[in-house]
Amino acid sequence: MRILIGLTVLLIGVTGCAILTQLSQSVEEIPSSRLTCASNPEFVDGNLETVSTFAVNGVVRKAYQVFDDSSRRISSAQRRYVTLVDGNRRTEAIIKLDVPTYVSYVEVYPGPGRIPNFAMMTTTDDPPRFDVAFERVSDKQHEDIEGLTPVRFSIQREILYLRMSADSIEDKQNSIRNPNANIEIPLKGAEIREVKFFGIQHSL
Protein backbone atom coordinates (compact mmCIF):
# COMPACT_ATOMS: atom_id res chain seq x y z
CA MET A 1 0.00 0.00 0.00
CA ARG A 2 2.82 2.36 0.88
CA ILE A 3 4.46 1.58 -2.47
CA LEU A 4 1.24 2.43 -4.32
CA ILE A 5 0.90 5.72 -2.43
CA GLY A 6 4.54 6.53 -3.17
CA LEU A 7 4.12 5.87 -6.88
CA THR A 8 0.99 8.05 -6.96
CA VAL A 9 2.79 10.92 -5.27
CA LEU A 10 5.71 10.52 -7.68
CA LEU A 11 3.40 10.55 -10.71
CA ILE A 12 1.62 13.67 -9.47
CA GLY A 13 4.96 15.35 -8.88
CA VAL A 14 6.26 14.53 -12.38
CA THR A 15 3.00 15.67 -13.99
CA GLY A 16 3.06 18.88 -11.99
CA CYS A 17 6.64 19.60 -13.09
CA ALA A 18 5.71 19.03 -16.73
CA ILE A 19 2.77 21.42 -16.43
CA LEU A 20 4.92 24.05 -14.75
CA THR A 21 7.55 23.66 -17.46
CA GLN A 22 4.94 24.20 -20.15
CA LEU A 23 3.56 27.22 -18.35
CA SER A 24 7.05 28.71 -18.05
CA GLN A 25 7.49 28.53 -21.83
CA SER A 26 5.58 30.30 -24.53
CA VAL A 27 5.99 30.54 -28.29
CA GLU A 28 6.69 34.14 -29.22
CA GLU A 29 7.86 35.99 -32.29
CA ILE A 30 11.62 36.30 -32.57
CA PRO A 31 12.42 40.01 -33.11
CA SER A 32 13.35 40.96 -36.66
CA SER A 33 16.45 42.68 -35.21
CA ARG A 34 17.88 39.19 -34.68
CA LEU A 35 17.45 38.26 -38.36
CA THR A 36 19.50 39.17 -41.42
CA CYS A 37 19.11 38.36 -45.12
CA ALA A 38 21.95 39.65 -47.28
CA SER A 39 20.20 39.14 -50.63
CA ASN A 40 16.75 40.36 -49.55
CA PRO A 41 16.86 42.55 -46.40
CA GLU A 42 13.15 43.40 -46.82
CA PHE A 43 12.26 39.77 -46.08
CA VAL A 44 13.12 40.37 -42.41
CA ASP A 45 12.79 44.13 -41.92
CA GLY A 46 9.65 43.79 -39.77
CA ASN A 47 7.59 45.82 -42.26
CA LEU A 48 4.73 44.08 -44.08
CA GLU A 49 4.46 47.03 -46.49
CA THR A 50 7.82 46.29 -48.13
CA VAL A 51 8.12 43.61 -50.83
CA SER A 52 11.27 41.95 -52.09
CA THR A 53 11.88 39.62 -55.03
CA PHE A 54 14.00 36.48 -55.29
CA ALA A 55 17.04 37.17 -57.48
CA VAL A 56 16.98 35.34 -60.82
CA ASN A 57 19.89 34.07 -62.89
CA GLY A 58 18.44 32.53 -66.01
CA VAL A 59 16.29 32.79 -69.12
CA VAL A 60 14.03 30.34 -70.94
CA ARG A 61 14.67 29.70 -74.62
CA LYS A 62 12.16 27.94 -76.86
CA ALA A 63 13.43 26.86 -80.25
CA TYR A 64 13.16 24.28 -83.01
CA GLN A 65 15.88 21.65 -83.03
CA VAL A 66 16.51 18.96 -85.62
CA PHE A 67 16.63 15.35 -84.43
CA ASP A 68 17.68 12.33 -86.45
CA ASP A 69 15.15 9.56 -85.83
CA SER A 70 17.41 6.52 -86.29
CA SER A 71 14.77 4.14 -84.93
CA ARG A 72 13.16 4.01 -88.35
CA ARG A 73 14.51 1.98 -91.25
CA ILE A 74 14.82 5.11 -93.31
CA SER A 75 16.36 7.95 -91.30
CA SER A 76 14.30 11.12 -91.36
CA ALA A 77 15.11 14.53 -89.91
CA GLN A 78 12.43 15.88 -87.61
CA ARG A 79 11.98 19.35 -86.16
CA ARG A 80 10.84 19.45 -82.56
CA TYR A 81 10.06 22.44 -80.42
CA VAL A 82 12.16 22.25 -77.24
CA THR A 83 12.35 24.38 -74.10
CA LEU A 84 15.78 25.04 -72.60
CA VAL A 85 16.81 27.01 -69.52
CA ASP A 86 19.95 29.07 -69.89
CA GLY A 87 21.12 29.48 -66.29
CA ASN A 88 19.04 28.29 -63.35
CA ARG A 89 15.27 28.25 -62.97
CA ARG A 90 15.62 27.84 -59.18
CA THR A 91 15.96 30.91 -56.92
CA GLU A 92 16.90 31.14 -53.25
CA ALA A 93 17.52 33.38 -50.26
CA ILE A 94 19.19 32.65 -46.91
CA ILE A 95 18.12 34.13 -43.57
CA LYS A 96 20.51 34.04 -40.61
CA LEU A 97 19.72 34.35 -36.91
CA ASP A 98 22.20 36.08 -34.63
CA VAL A 99 22.76 32.86 -32.63
CA PRO A 100 21.53 29.25 -32.96
CA THR A 101 17.91 29.30 -31.77
CA TYR A 102 15.14 26.75 -31.35
CA VAL A 103 12.46 27.75 -33.86
CA SER A 104 8.95 26.33 -33.52
CA TYR A 105 7.63 27.61 -36.82
CA VAL A 106 8.11 30.22 -39.53
CA GLU A 107 5.42 32.32 -41.20
CA VAL A 108 5.88 33.44 -44.80
CA TYR A 109 3.90 36.50 -45.92
CA PRO A 110 3.65 36.27 -49.72
CA GLY A 111 3.64 39.25 -52.02
CA PRO A 112 1.39 39.61 -55.07
CA GLY A 113 1.43 36.65 -57.41
CA ARG A 114 2.46 33.05 -56.89
CA ILE A 115 5.47 31.41 -55.24
CA PRO A 116 5.98 28.16 -57.17
CA ASN A 117 7.52 25.01 -55.71
CA PHE A 118 8.50 26.66 -52.41
CA ALA A 119 10.79 24.81 -50.00
CA MET A 120 12.88 25.37 -46.86
CA MET A 121 16.08 23.91 -45.43
CA THR A 122 17.96 24.67 -42.21
CA THR A 123 21.38 24.24 -40.64
CA THR A 124 23.33 25.21 -37.52
CA ASP A 125 26.70 25.00 -39.30
CA ASP A 126 28.58 28.28 -39.57
CA PRO A 127 29.57 28.81 -42.27
CA PRO A 128 27.10 26.39 -43.85
CA ARG A 129 28.27 23.72 -46.28
CA PHE A 130 25.74 23.83 -49.07
CA ASP A 131 26.38 20.27 -50.24
CA VAL A 132 25.71 18.43 -46.97
CA ALA A 133 24.86 20.80 -44.11
CA PHE A 134 21.26 21.75 -44.84
CA GLU A 135 18.40 19.60 -43.58
CA ARG A 136 15.09 19.95 -45.36
CA VAL A 137 11.90 21.13 -43.69
CA SER A 138 9.32 18.48 -44.56
CA ASP A 139 6.25 20.61 -43.81
CA LYS A 140 4.63 21.75 -47.11
CA GLN A 141 7.79 20.83 -48.98
CA HIS A 142 7.74 21.98 -52.65
CA GLU A 143 4.17 23.30 -52.53
CA ASP A 144 2.93 26.39 -54.37
CA ILE A 145 1.96 29.45 -52.32
CA GLU A 146 -0.82 31.62 -53.72
CA GLY A 147 -2.61 34.67 -52.34
CA LEU A 148 -1.57 37.11 -49.62
CA THR A 149 -2.51 34.92 -46.64
CA PRO A 150 0.56 34.02 -44.52
CA VAL A 151 1.61 30.37 -44.62
CA ARG A 152 3.01 28.65 -41.53
CA PHE A 153 5.83 26.12 -41.77
CA SER A 154 6.60 23.84 -38.81
CA ILE A 155 10.34 23.81 -38.04
CA GLN A 156 10.70 22.30 -34.52
CA ARG A 157 14.49 22.39 -34.33
CA GLU A 158 17.44 24.59 -33.47
CA ILE A 159 18.66 26.55 -36.48
CA LEU A 160 21.13 29.25 -37.41
CA TYR A 161 20.42 29.53 -41.15
CA LEU A 162 17.12 29.15 -43.00
CA ARG A 163 17.46 28.56 -46.73
CA MET A 164 14.34 29.28 -48.81
CA SER A 165 14.01 28.34 -52.47
CA ALA A 166 11.35 28.65 -55.15
CA ASP A 167 11.05 28.29 -58.90
CA SER A 168 11.24 31.45 -60.95
CA ILE A 169 8.28 32.55 -63.07
CA GLU A 170 8.23 32.92 -66.86
CA ASP A 171 7.65 36.56 -67.78
CA LYS A 172 5.80 35.82 -71.02
CA GLN A 173 4.59 39.40 -71.45
CA ASN A 174 8.18 40.46 -72.06
CA SER A 175 9.18 37.55 -74.28
CA ILE A 176 11.23 38.21 -77.44
CA ARG A 177 10.72 36.38 -80.74
CA ASN A 178 13.84 36.16 -82.89
CA PRO A 179 13.83 36.16 -86.72
CA ASN A 180 14.56 32.41 -86.77
CA ALA A 181 11.30 31.76 -84.82
CA ASN A 182 13.11 31.16 -81.54
CA ILE A 183 11.51 32.66 -78.43
CA GLU A 184 13.38 34.06 -75.42
CA ILE A 185 11.36 34.36 -72.22
CA PRO A 186 12.92 36.21 -69.24
CA LEU A 187 12.47 34.77 -65.77
CA LYS A 188 11.33 36.77 -62.76
CA GLY A 189 11.48 35.91 -59.07
CA ALA A 190 8.55 35.42 -56.72
CA GLU A 191 7.82 38.12 -54.16
CA ILE A 192 7.70 37.96 -50.35
CA ARG A 193 6.63 40.71 -47.95
CA GLU A 194 8.00 39.24 -44.73
CA VAL A 195 9.31 36.09 -43.06
CA LYS A 196 8.60 35.81 -39.33
CA PHE A 197 10.23 33.39 -36.91
CA PHE A 198 8.60 32.05 -33.75
CA GLY A 199 10.31 30.19 -30.92
CA ILE A 200 9.94 29.19 -27.30
CA GLN A 201 10.90 31.99 -24.96
CA HIS A 202 11.76 30.92 -21.41
CA SER A 203 10.21 33.13 -18.75
CA LEU A 204 12.22 33.88 -15.61
- 3-state DSSP assignment of residue 41: helix
DSSP3 helix / strand / coil % (the chain, rounded to 5)? 15, 55, 30
pLDDT per position as a tens digit, 147-183: 999 999 999 999 999 999 999 999 888 888 877 768 8
User: What pLDDT, on the 0 to 100 scale, is given for residue 14?
Assistant: 45
Question: What sign does the dihedral 169-172-177-182 (CA atoms) show?
Answer: positive
pTM given for the model: 0.77
